Every structure is written in structure tokens, then in C-alpha cells.
Amino acid sequence: MSDINNLPNAEGEEEVNKNVSHSDNVSEENKSVETNNTEVEDTTPISEEKSIDSEEKNNEASKNSDDQNDEVLNEIEDSNAEDAEDEGNKDRHTIEVKAYDTMSLEALAIELERLVKNEKVQAIKSHIDSINSEFKDKFQALLDDKKEEFLNDGGNEIDFYYVSPIQKRYKEAYNEYRRKLNEHYQNLEKNLKQNLADKLEIIEELKGLINVEENINTTYKHFKELQERWRTTGPIPRDKYNNAWNSYHHHVEIFYDFLHLNRDLRDLDFKHNLERKLLIIERAEELAEDDNVMRAFRELQELHKMWKEELGPVDKEYREVIWEKFKAATKKINDKRQAYYQDIDKIYEKNLEKKLEVIENIEAINAQNTNSHNAWQKKIKEIEDLREQFFSIGKVPREVNESTWAKFKESVRTFNRQKNAFYKDLKKDQYTNLQKKLELIKIAEDNKDSDDFEVTTPLMKKIQSDWKKIGHVPRKDSDKIWKRFKAACNAYFDKLHATRNAVNKESLDAFNNKVTLLETLKNLKPVGDKEKDIESVKEFINKWKDLGRVPNDKRYIEDKFNKAIEDFLTNLKMDKNEVEMIKFENKLDAISDSDNSKDLDNERHFIRKKIDEVRSQINQLENNLQFFTNVEDDNPVVKEVHKNIKAHKDALKLWKEKLSKIKELY
């Protein structure tokens, strides 16, 4: 605590405090500062009367400094006058202000319901105003989109009507807020008038104290009771606050002057008030160092309220000096608050740059020439992404908010107009496409019960292919005609598959028998006798062929059988070419069973190609031998070449045998 004895003599602090007056017409916007990071209220009062004594009038620099200091004092006094009218108003500072501009319509409705249900109605006005503004803008954007869809589907603008359950839910919550607010103001007006009457009565009693002929101690006790009644009476109308308080304070000072008859009582009261005010100064100086600027300013308002309403005057020698110390701490806090506002302004300016960039991107898309449905769908997606970016960026400076929103809406509407014009032209083609698809539906429905599968199957496949090529039809008809077409095609192909399944019963039996035979082959072990083992293999191959063909979707079992034959032959000690020919013959049997001459042709072309390649390699090796003149035949290089020539000739012989086997099949 500051040392009372070190305070110099000074002139009346209370006179300075008294002269800080306020406009009775402070607008709704000029209330105490909202403590949030998304919006800055204009807190400068409409008018102020400066407290300037004769010395300040002769010193311009001192005048400017005090003018700035008194400005924030007036702002604090205005806020406290407002709080005096509405004691619940200060509660709004503790209500979180969310990023309403990033919320969906449903989230805004839910937040509105929560505020109306859980918070004091007089404390949420700024929140409700922000929510209401965002909801209106976003719902209008939704309405524009729905109207656009309606027109694109062929509707007339005059017939457009859209109702949203979210809108209904929002309106119910907003109406409940209006009802509660009206009820609050009705009760408030009644209470304010009664409280004003009670405080005026207290002032009249104060006036009479100095005329009462009674013991001074009894009078002083009566005076303290009146002070307590004043503090507990409750709020009064804002426009009566300053006059009532000034009158009350004036008569309190008169009473203290009256107490000169009993200086002990007065000095005791002065000492108590000085101690409390020094504590307030100490707390204000601590708040000046607080990093949370808005929290510090809110508490500073409360300190000013305590200084003015809860405490009386101090001895004249201390009045001005302690008031100047309090004002100095107040100015320091306010300077930090102004710097905070400047930072907020920078954020808003940055948001403005981002939103203008989004608008430029939309306008750039509008400038593109687009003549296809797919290209328009891509642009629609791009515009939707840009709209989401715009809504998620955050607030911009208030003075350009409406113009920025208007520019954004106009750019989106320009895009919608261009899109609508394209799709209106496209609708003509869509109705032509609709007629074409209806014709295909008639063909499909006329043939869905046909038993002439050879003729009808290609026809049904063709109309399915034609359907894909026709293009878009009006959205309202798309699902309906597709279901009809799909049902007719499915009916035909279900019948076709059922018939084929009946015909393929024999093939299914062959498949099941081949599965059993394949398991037997996998378990077969060589007996060590080459002739018997080869005979066993050929017996399995013949049995396999006798079982017949399997369904096309189960032909994979042929590959498994060939693999089992190859595995068995690999384990036999036989000539490599002999084993290869047995495997090849089995392969040809499988190809001939498939009735696919193309497979046989491919195999013949492949073998001929291999024969040509081997012959070419043999010729190349024989040509290479001519370079080895005067070289002995046992030379390692020469021996390697002769070895390669022999291997290639053996391979050539094998490929020729395979070609002969294929020719036998033709």
C-alpha cells in the first residue's frame, strides 16, 4: 500500500471526479467494451465534458493529455451508468463470443437456442445480433441455391417456394428471445422508476440531516444508514443516473462539512476512505501490467464504480494526488487497450484481403468460357469450395462488411446466371435425349420375354450400349426411366442365365467329376517304370477328355490339370523333349476342346515365330565359326559354339514336331 504520510497536499479529488460528466444520449453501440476476439465495439462516447482547471487552460500540452485521459474516464462512467440501469448487463462480458461466421445454419440455430435458454436475455444482445446477421446471409445464399435448382429443373420463378426446418427452428428461438426481452424491459422500467423514487427520498433525508437537533453520533449513524440504503437500492434509469448521483454526492459533502463540529468522526471516515482508495490504486497499477488487456479494463471499470459509489471523500490534502495516480494507471490500461484494438484491426484487414482474393477467383471463373456439362460441374465444385473459404475466413472491418458481402453475392449470382443460361439451352437436348431413351425402354420391354436368345441377346447388348451414348435427360425423369430400362434388361438376362444354367447342367457335372479326378492325379506317385508312368499319365489325360467340357466360368480347372500333369512328368527320368511333347499334346487337347480356332491359330503363329528365331540363331552361330580359321577344334570357344549350335538344332527339332502336331488338327 502507498504511504499516506508521503502524499503531498492537493486540491479536492472529488471535485475532479464530479466534473467528469456524460452524455445522456449515449447510443447502444457505445456501451462498455465487449471482451471477445471477433468484434470491437466503438466505445467512444458521443460527447464529453472535460475537467480542466484554470492552469490547464493555459497549458495546451497538459490540456491534450488530460483530454485523452478524461475520454476513457467518460467511457468508464458511461459504462457504469449503463450497468447501474441494468445490473445484469455486466454478465455479457463472461459469455463466450464464438466464430459465428464459420458456423452452419443448424449450428447457429442451436447456439441461439442455448443462449436464450441459459443466459440472461439482457446480456446477449450483441451475440444475438451477430448470429441473426450470419443466419440471414447464409439462409439467403441457401435460398438462392434452391431457387437455382428449381429453375434448372424446369420450374417457373413465380412458383418457387422453399421451407426449411432449420429456419422454423431458428424463428421459434428468436421469437422466444424477443418475448423474453420485452418482458425484461417491462419489468425493468417498473423497477427503475421505483428505485429512482427511493433514491430521491434518500437525498431528501440527507438534506434534512444538518437541520436535525440531536446528538451528532446519532446523526452520523443515520447518515451511514442512508449511505447503505443508497448502495442497496438498485438501478435507476440511465438518463437520471448522473444527476441523481451528483445530487447525492453534493449533499454527502455538505454533511461532511457539517461534521466539522465532530472532527473525530469525519477524520475516521476520511482515513477509512483513503485506505480503501489506496488499495484501489494499487490494484489498478497491477492491472496495468496484466497481459490480458480486456480483462484488465473490465476490472478497471469495477474499480471506478467502487471509487465513485462505495467510497466517500478523503481529506483535501490527499484528494487530488490520489486521483491523479488513479488516472495515470487508468490511462496506461487504456493505452494498451487501444493497441489491442489496432491489432484486431490488422487481423480484420488481413481477412478483408483474403475475402477479396476469393471474390477475384470467382470472377476469374466467371470470365472462363465453358460449353460442356462436365466442365460446368467442375466449375460448380470450384465455386462451392470458394464459398466455403469465404465463410470460414472471419470478420472484416465493419465499414466495409456490407460492401464486401454485396460484392461476393454479386459474383456468385453472376456465376449462377451464366450456369442457368447454359443449362436452359441444355434442357432442349435433354428432352430430345429423353425421347431417345424412352424408345430404347420400349425395345427392352418388348423383348424381355423373348426365347430367341441368339437374336435377342445382341439386340439387348446394343441398346444398353446406345443408352450410355445418349447423354443426360431432365433430372426429374432420370431415376424413373433408368429403373424401367434396368428392370426390362435384368428380366431378359435373368431368363437367359436361367436357361443357360439348365443347359449347362452336364457341364457342371463334368466340372465336379474333373475336380475329383484332379485330386486323384495330385496324389499319384511315379512307380519307377518309365513306360508305366507315361501310360498312367496318358490314361489320366484320356479320362479327363472323356469327362467333357466344363462351364466357361470354370475353365480355370483346365490350367490346374495341366499344371498337375507337368508336375508329375517333371519327376520322371525321361528325355526332356519327350516330356515336353507329352505336355504339348495335352495342351493341344485343351485348345481343341475350347472350340476356339483363334487360340489354335495363335499357338501355330507362336511356334512358327520360334522356329524362325532358332534358325536365325543357328545361322548366326555357324557364321561366327567362319571367323575361327587356323583354330583347333578343341579350342574352348569353338567347343562352346558347337555346343550352342547343337542345342539350338535340338530345340528346332522339337518346335518342328510341335508344328506337325498342330497341322494334324487342321
Q: What pLDDT digit, counting tens, does each position of 417-436 carry?
A: 888 888 777 777 888 899 99
C-alpha cell of residue 628: 575361327
Q: In angstroms, rounded to a whole number, what is the distance separating the alpha carbons of residues 598 and 603? A: 9
**Would 601 be classed as within a structural domain?**
yes
- Sign (positive/negative) of CA torsion 31, 33, 39, 43? positive
Q: In angstroms, rounded to a whole number, what is the distance separating the alpha carbons of residues 444 and 463? A: 8
User: Which of 309, 324, 345 represents a domain boundary (last residue)?
Assistant: 345
**Would 120 be classed as within a structural domain?**
yes
Q: Which range of residues forms the domain containing residue 652? A: 596-666
From residue 467, alpha-carbon distances to 32, 129, 217, 440, 458 in Å are 69, 54, 107, 7, 14
513-518: long-range contacts, CB 8 A cutoff, minimum separation 24:
513/547, 514/544, 514/547, 514/550, 514/557, 514/561, 515/557, 517/543, 517/544, 517/547, 518/557, 518/560, 518/561, 518/564
Which of residues 487 and 235 earns the better pLDDT score?
487
pLDDT band for position 61 (50/70/90)? very low
C-alpha cell of residue 410: 454479386
User: Which of 503, 529, 544 represents a domain boundary (last residue)?
Assistant: 503
Both 299 and 163 in a single domain? yes
pLDDT band for position 29 (50/70/90)? very low
59 three-class SS: coil
Both 287 and 168 in a single domain? yes
Least confident of 62-71, 233-242, 469-478, 572-581: 62-71
Q: In angstroms, rounded to a whole number, what is the distance separating the alpha carbons of residues 655 and 577? A: 10
- Does residue 244 register a pLDDT over 80? yes
**Would 417 be classed as within a structural domain?**
no
Q: What is the pLDDT of residue 382?
A: 92
Both 508 and 616 in a single domain? no
Tens-place pLDDT, residues 104-123: 888 899 999 999 898 888 88
Provide the number of structural domains found in the chain.
Answer: 5
**Would 297 be classed as within a structural domain?**
yes
Both 190 and 283 in a single domain? yes
Q: What is the pLDDT of residue 44?
A: 29
**Would 103 be classed as within a structural domain?**
yes
**Would 645 be classed as within a structural domain?**
yes
Both 624 and 642 in a single domain? yes
Which of residues 500 and 328 earns the better pLDDT score?
328
Both 389 and 263 in a single domain? no
Instruction: Give yes or no for a contact between 453 and 496, defined as CB atoms under 8 angstroms apart.
Output: yes
Both 433 and 512 in a single domain? no
The count of C-alpha atoms lying within 13 angstroms of the C-alpha of 106, restricted to the half-sphere facing its C-beta, is 1
- Does residue 261 register a pLDDT over 70? no
**Would 609 be classed as within a structural domain?**
yes
Both 550 and 568 in a single domain? yes
Q: In angstroms, rounded to a whole number, what is the distance separating the alpha carbons of residues 344 and 40? A: 8
**Would 149 be classed as within a structural domain?**
yes
Both 291 and 229 in a single domain? yes
Which of residues 415 and 213 earns the better pLDDT score?
415
From residue 169, alpha-carbon distances to 120, 128, 248 in Å are 20, 15, 49
Match 441461439 to its residue by C-alpha cell: 112
Q: What is the pLDDT of residue 249?
A: 80
Average pLDDT of span 403-412: 88
Q: How are the residues of the chain apportioned to helix, strand and coil, as percentages rounded to the nearest 5?
A: 80, 0, 20
pTM attached to this predicted model: 0.37
Both 355 and 324 in a single domain? no
User: Which of 466, 487, 503 represents a domain boundary (last residue)?
Assistant: 503
Q: What torsion, rounded to 10 degrees, do the Cα atoms 510, 516, 519, 520 define? A: -110
Percent of the chain with pLDDT over 90: 16
Q: In angstroms, rounded to a whole number, what is the distance separating the alpha carbons of residues 114 and 102? A: 17
Both 106 and 174 in a single domain? yes
Both 130 and 209 in a single domain? yes
- Does residue 465 register a pLDDT over 90? yes
Q: Which residues contact 8 (CB under 8 A, 6 or more apart)?
A: 317, 321
Q: In angstroms, rounded to a whole number, what is the distance separating the alpha carbons of residues 243 and 240? A: 6
Amino acid at 167: Q
Maximum average pLDDT range among 27-41, 336-350, 449-463, 541-555: 449-463
